[in-house]
């Protein structure tokens, strides 16, 4: 699946299912591209007990959405459970809030 290009405030965003702008991510190349380009399998997924990012798996594979913005349960429990272990709880909560705002903005 090609990256989801969204024009937001005059800027192109490569929006992942969870709301991260892959276009601004320094790790995009290491990840194999955006989540859509790597089919939810960024390079760091090997460090977790899953084969595919749970947010990508739920949104794209199980529900056929392009992003979690299409889901009526946004933000769901997966947003709060799946987190970067290097983040504090507060940093993670702020990241979830920012991602949810980006997803809602993508709906227009």
Reported as a single tens digit per residue, the pLDDT across 81-99 is: 988 889 999 999 999 999 9
**pLDDT the model gives residue 64:** 95
58 token code pair: 């739920």
User: Where are the chain's structural domains?
Assistant: 4-106
Burial 5-37 (b: 16+ CB within 10 A, else e): ebeeeeeebbbbbbbbbbbebeebeebebbbbb
**CB within 8 Å of 89: residues ≥ 6 apart:** none
Nearest to 57 by CA among 40, 45, 42: 40
**pLDDT the model gives residue 13:** 57
**CB within 8 Å of 96: residues ≥ 6 apart:** 75, 79, 80
**pLDDT the model gives residue 21:** 83
Segments of the chain scoring below 70 in pLDDT: 1-13
CA end-to-end distance (rounded Å), the chain: 22
Peptide bond into 50 cis (omega under 30): no
Please tell me the pTM assigned to this model. Answer: 0.81
């Amino acid at each position: 699946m090609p990256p989801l290009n969204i024009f937001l405030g005059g800027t192109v965003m490569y929006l992942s299912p969870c709301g991260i702008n892959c276009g601004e991510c320094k790790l995009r190349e290491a990840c194999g591209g955006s989540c859509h380009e790597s089919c939810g399998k960024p390079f760091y997924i090997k460090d977790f007990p899953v084969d595919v990012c749970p947010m990508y798996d739920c949104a794209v594979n199980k529900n056929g959405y392009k992003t979690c913005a299409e889901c009526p349960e946004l933000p769901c429990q997966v947003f709060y459970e799946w987190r970067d272990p290097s983040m504090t709880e507060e940093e993670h909560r702020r990241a979830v809030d920012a991602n949810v705002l980006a997803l809602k903005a993508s709906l227009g």
